[in-house]
Amino acid sequence: MSTILPNFEEAEIVLPGGRAVPAILEPRLKTYFVERDGVRLRVMFASAATDNPRGSIIFSPGRTEFIEKYFETTADLIQRGFNVLMIDPRGQGLSDRLIDDRLKSYIGDFQDYADDMAYVAEQFAPLLPRPHVAMGHSMGGTVVLQAVLSGVLKADVVVCSAPMLGLFDLETSLMRVAIVALSRLGFDKRNLPFQRQRSGLPIPFQGNKLTSDKERYKSWAAYFQTTPRLRVGQPTYGWIRAAVASMAYVNRNAPNLKIPGLMLGAGADPIVDPASIERFALSAGCEYSVIPGALHELFLERDVYRDDALAQMDAFFEAQKI
């Protein structure tokens, strides 16, 4: 990699079963630890497969996710001419966990995720030519939208894959109120009951809500099966409370999104309601496109769905002259 990189502590890359980093990505990829407010964050920087990058993508993964899950997607993005910056959100991946029980999914405020993104982007600014694309999947979509709307991240466009703007499991206001109330009554760091992911290990492929691609699912699952440090269990009441607050903030402020955006919905998503994404897009003046038949993880889906999502992104970037 010819680019001069920041002087941060280098971080490890997890490769279960001796698998290799994609060939085009391997010489262009570095991982680091960056500390903010006492929390050590693992960060990936990958340089574009060209001497003249067309821009930079600042990417936030979803809940329980980690950098290695997106190696295939990162390879797609650098081949399209983008530099890519990605972060393991605090509390997951190989970033610092926030409470003693490493398996518990907890955050006090989604603004912490947003501020982390903005801080890391600032640290890597010399390696991030504009235009800047703020990009996120699921929880990460909510995070990048909050980062942009709160003004901490100065992006030029935003692209979200199945952004968490309305959850089927929280479809009633009574349920949302009950969870928030229990969180405030001292249940903040307790796990939600009746969840299938208690141990942080993936459920069997049959019946999963993420993807219809068996091989990609197995590849993703292998990380959790072989590397306990990566595992994250079910959300706590505190995480849900923070998620509800973030979704409300982002949806309420949709008209204040003053940059172009592309919101991608998964047509058969059983987790995030595609209608909530469409409503946000209409309010924010963004483009909205749904991938019919796809489950929640558009970048982990079968090629017929995944290629459609990438094609929608390509068309959006072309229209924005990026």
CATH number of the domain to which 257 belongs? 3.40.50.1820
In a domain, 248, yes or no: yes
Give me 21's structure tokens: 């980093």
CA-closest candidate to residue 223, choices 16, 12, 11, 18: 16
pLDDT attached to residue 237: 87
In a domain, 4, yes or no: no
In a domain, 311, yes or no: yes
pLDDT at 253 over 50: yes
Highest mean pLDDT among 16-30, 152-166, 177-191: 152-166
Amino acid at 322: I
In a domain, 313, yes or no: yes
Using CA atoms, how far apart are residues 205 and 218, in angstroms rounded to an integer? Answer: 8
pLDDT attached to residue 2: 46
In a domain, 27, yes or no: yes
pLDDT at 181 over 70: no
What is the DSSP-derived secondary structure letter of residue 235? B
If you average pLDDT over residues 216-229, what whole number do you get? 95
Tell me how many domains the chain contains: 1
Q: How confident is the model at residue 234 (pLDDT cuts 50, 70, 90)?
A: confident
Residue span of the structural domain in which 298 resides:
9-319
pLDDT at 42 over 60: yes
Average of per-residue pLDDT values in the chain: 92
Share of the chain above pLDDT 90, in %: 82
- β-strand partners of 289: 264
**201 alpha-carbon distance from chain centroid:** 19
Which stretch of DSSP H or E encloses residue 20? none
pLDDT attached to residue 1: 44
Residue 137 contacts residue 89 (beta carbons within 8 Å): no
In a domain, 194, yes or no: yes
In a domain, 2, yes or no: no
Residue 85 contacts residue 77 (beta carbons within 8 Å): no
Residue 92 contacts residue 64 (beta carbons within 8 Å): yes
Amino acid at 235: P
Amino acid at 171: E
CB count in 10 Å sphere of residue 141? 28
If you average pLDDT over residues 91-118, what whole number do you get? 95
Using CA atoms, how far apart are residues 43 and 11, in angstroms rounded to an integer? Answer: 8
In a domain, 3, yes or no: no
